[in-house]
Amino acid sequence: MTSWKEQLGDRVPEQLAGEVDLFEGQIELKKQGKLDDKIFAETRLRRGVYGQRYDNGLRDDGTGQKPLAFPCGDLTKGPDTVWDAPGMMRIKIPFGKLSADQLDVLSELAEENSDSILHVTTRQDIQLHFIHIEEAPDMMRRLASVGITTREACGNSVRNVTACEYAGVCTTQAFDVTPYADAITKYLLGHPDVQDFGRKFKIAFSGCEDNPCGLVTFHDLGAVAHVRDGKRGFRVVVGGGLGAVPVQAKVLDEFCPEEELLPLAQAVSRVFARLGEKQSRARARIKFLVQKVGIDEFKRLVAEERAGLRPDPRWTAFLDDLHSTDEKPVREAGPLPANASPAFTRWAEHNLKPQAQDGYYVAIVKMPLGDFTSDQGRALASLAREYTGDAIRCTVEQNLAFRWLSGADAVAFYERLSALSLAEAGAGTISDMTSCPGTDTCKLGISASRGVTGELRKRLSLVQDELDPAVQALRMKASGCFNSCGQHHAADIGFTGVSRQVGGRKVPHFNIVLGGQWTENAKSYGLVVGAVPSKNIPKAVDLITAHYLEQREGEESFQAFIARVGKKEFRKVLAPIQKPPAYEDDPSYYSDWGDPREYNIGDIGIGECAGEIVPFVEFGLQEAEQQLHDAQDALEAGDAAAAASGGFKAMVTAAKALIRHLEVQVTDDANDVVGNFKTHLYDTQLFHDPFAKGKFANYLLKMHGDKSYEDANEEIAHRALDEAQLFLEAAHGCYQRLTEAAAAAAE
């Protein structure tokens, strides 16, 4: 028997081969107990080897949390992460571009090392689940042999660089952004200036302002192609992000000439690495830095940093051959057939888009929940070889785009897809839903985003053709938690998983977010209108769409409709389905879609999304941020009482998180939380701000005492929210001090 290392030989580029060898060596050192858990965790994360749900060796089987007796014993691959527990590999596919050979290898790995499923993510990666860490090095070698690296796919690094899947063939682009995305990918991969971030950093490109494909506004760094006076450049934005508190990116440079793009990105990276938050991961994304210093100061810092950069020939070398990423069609262009079947015509309506190049089309192959099988992957690779060449792109809507399909071949291509059961019509419509993994595999999942999405897909597939075109055109997206990987903020109808306590039991819910804008690069985010039990989400969609059709004015868009009627009205629409029945009347509400176990959130683990570790306290602080955000929305909508109570609730949540951080047992009851807060954080002065002393803590104690949040008017609500905001800031500060003190004590 040989090994993959020997078998592949010099087909693995030397540098990648060395990196994989090093990682394999680190695996051995860890097994021998010679590497620290945290260091090894960050090491594997930076190579795309991620944790997965239950990898702490515990799983609730519906009757309580039970140990999973993995044979590895005490061996771990990170803090509280069992060595043998299945994990996930995130495979970076820069701007989603795949060749047929790459798709073949990915399909091989999916069936040899995973469960035969390839999952397209919302950031154009491919993920494989249920892999064993010891198989990772050979997987990496096989990927490297076809030009793929998993390096910096996770961890506090520059993640996959995304771009519009139509780049280069689009009818509305200023120019093809592909070579620029390629250049920045290569330049920043492993660059010393991007190794010391406090958090991940995501970059996106778009070929134009109007279409949604690049989604640059919710990225840490976004570049939109423009031509000014015949010269190519980019409008560069910075500090966007989703998560619990979504933020629109701000303009950093209205027109950055193409030769300045890489140095500008490098300068931004250096500022982020130098000044970005490092202790409190909940506030470590660059959006918080931009908010903290203000965009004008941030611009000044970047300009100053840029001025001091040592010139690098790579900044402009790629400009000498901007055609290096061009694709070559394998078939002659041709027109679409005049008399195609109704089935083909129905598919082509949404799944086939004409390219800028006459006679060629982009075919969108709709992947249910982003999933396809190894067999389908191989067959699609064959289709690419035959019809389109190496011109496949993963899309941010979790589909695959096949570019350079001749119109003359479109019917044959469609028929081949049909044989693979992959000719589902309706790409980019209401049935083409996006979902993060949620509780299926993610350690942070709160509700079953894939479960609810699968259920909605099933129902919509039965009625899709009868839906009003205005409803058909809507987009729905689901995230299993506030981290927003499903990009629900930018959907017409978005869902984000939350848990609610009802009659002493937990019930899976989704917050409904309405009116997000997908177009214009996700120009605006939706409004949270309230939480609905998971099992009532299909009813909620029916109610929302029916209300829209009944009440809209003329051809009013969904976004315009939501903006006009406001979320207050939708609260009324949803009110009848917001309360679940008692457990005794209908226990089905107390389990999630696709999971018969009685629901609980005990399986939520320590997330690795942030790179290394996200302590539980940070989830609590993020939840508090979300509650404050909702409360601010409530005030905006004129509901002062809800706003004030929301502000109080946010403070209680933050206080509870800190109390738990001190390993003090505390319930969800506000009296218990405030009592414990006073004993363990106020009386001990641990919460005291170095300058304001107990001032911020008193906001909580006073509000709890005088109940001023009850029946608050607008003035009181405003004050409550201001105080809550300051309390949350103080809570973050307290957490930081506790962390630093613990670190000092450890030394």
Partner 1 sequence: MEPTKFQVKLYTKSGDVELEKLVPVFHEWIRSKKIADELLIDVADYAHVPQGPGVVLIGHQSDYYLDLADDRPGLLYSRKRGFDGDFQGGVDDAFRRALEACKLLEAESGLDFEFATDEVLFRVQDRLNAPNADATYEAYKPALEKAASTYFGGSASLERVGGPREPFAVRISTGSQGTVDEALARA
Name the site residues for partner 1 (rule: CB under 8 A).
1-4, 7, 53-54, 59, 61-63, 68-71, 84-86, 104, 108, 111-112, 115-117, 129-130, 132, 368-369, 371-373, 375-376, 378, 420-422, 440-441, 451, 454, 457-458, 594-597
**Which CB atom, from 350 or from 457, has the smaller least distance to partner 1?**
457
Contact 455, 490 (CB under 8 A): no
**Which CB atom, from 253 or from 440, has the smaller least distance to partner 1?**
440
Say how far apart CA 735 and CA 622 lie, in whole Å. 13
Contacts of 229 (CB under 8 A, 6+ apart): none
Q: Give least dist CB 433 to partner 1, A.
A: 10
Say how far apart CA 694 and CA 687 lie, in whole Å. 7
**Which CB atom, from 131 or from 170, has the smaller least distance to partner 1?**
131
Q: Is 358 exposed, middle or buried (0-12, 13-18, 19+ CB in 10 A)?
A: exposed
**Which CB atom, from 115 or from 326, has the smaller least distance to partner 1?**
115
- Residue 180: closest CA among 218, 121, 236: 236
Q: Give least dist CB 120 to partner 1, A.
A: 12
Contact 52, 87 (CB under 8 A): yes
Q: Which tokens in the block code for residue 382? A: 């064959």
Say how far apart CA 266 and CA 553 lie, in whole Å. 48
Q: Give least dist CB 419 to partner 1, A.
A: 10
One-letter amino acid identity for 281? R
Say how far apart CA 694 and CA 698 lie, in whole Å. 6
Phi and psi torsions of 25, nearest 5°:
-65, -40
Q: Give least dist CB 84 to partner 1, A.
A: 6
Residue 52, sorted as left (phi over 0), alpha (psi -120 to 50) or beta, turns out to be beta
The H or E element containing residue 370 is: none
Q: Give least dist CB 741 to partner 1, A.
A: 38
**Which CB atom, from 112 or from 714, has the smaller least distance to partner 1?**
112
Q: Give least dist CB 351 to partner 1, A.
A: 16
**Which CB atom, from 9 or from 705, has the smaller least distance to partner 1?**
9
One-letter amino acid identity for 497? G
Q: Give least dist CB 112 to partner 1, A.
A: 5
**Which CB atom, from 67 or from 294, has the smaller least distance to partner 1?**
67
**Which CB atom, from 196 or from 595, has the smaller least distance to partner 1?**
595
Q: Give least dist CB 54 to partner 1, A.
A: 6
Query: 3-state SS of 268-288?
Result: HHHHHHHHCCCCCHHHCCHHH
Q: Give least dist CB 190 to partner 1, A.
A: 28
**Which CB atom, from 116 or from 519, has the smaller least distance to partner 1?**
116
Q: Where are the alpha helices (DSSP H) in 464-554?
A: 469-472, 519-522, 537-551
- Residue 202: closest CA among 492, 506, 538, 611: 611
Q: Give least dist CB 375 to partner 1, A.
A: 6
Q: Is 519 exposed, middle or buried (0-12, 13-18, 19+ CB in 10 A)?
A: middle
In this structure, are strands 476-479 and 434-435 parallel, antiparallel, or unpaired? Answer: parallel
**Which CB atom, from 101 or from 672, has the smaller least distance to partner 1?**
101
Q: Where are the alpha helices (DSSP H) in 420-522?
A: 449-463, 469-472, 519-522
Phi and psi torsions of 701, nearest 5°:
-60, -40
**Which CB atom, from 593 or from 619, has the smaller least distance to partner 1?**
593
Q: Give least dist CB 598 to partner 1, A.
A: 11
Q: Give least dist CB 508 to partner 1, A.
A: 15
Phi and psi torsions of 690, nearest 5°:
-55, -30
Contact 136, 47 (CB under 8 A): yes
Q: Where are the alpha helices (DSSP H) in 114-177?
A: 136-144
Q: Where are the alpha helices (DSSP H) in 85-146?
A: 100-113, 136-144
Q: Give least dist CB 404 to partner 1, A.
A: 22
Calculate the alpha carbon distances from 223 to 555, 603, 693 in Å.
Answer: 32, 39, 44
Say how far apart CA 598 and CA 38 lie, in whole Å. 33
In this structure, are strands 360-365 and 400-406 parallel, antiparallel, or unpaired? Answer: antiparallel
Q: Where are the alpha helices (DSSP H) in 280-409?
A: 286-293, 295-307, 314-317, 342-351, 374-383
Q: Give least dist CB 513 to partner 1, A.
A: 23
**Which CB atom, from 441 or from 559, has the smaller least distance to partner 1?**
441
Residue whose entry in the numeric block shows the structure tokens 């793009």: 261
CA 496 to chain centre: 12
In this structure, are strands 392-394 and 97-98 parallel, antiparallel, or unpaired? Answer: antiparallel
Q: Give least dist CB 164 to partner 1, A.
A: 27
**Which CB atom, from 591 or from 645, has the smaller least distance to partner 1?**
591
**Which CB atom, from 452 or from 700, has the smaller least distance to partner 1?**
452
**Which CB atom, from 373 or from 626, has the smaller least distance to partner 1?**
373
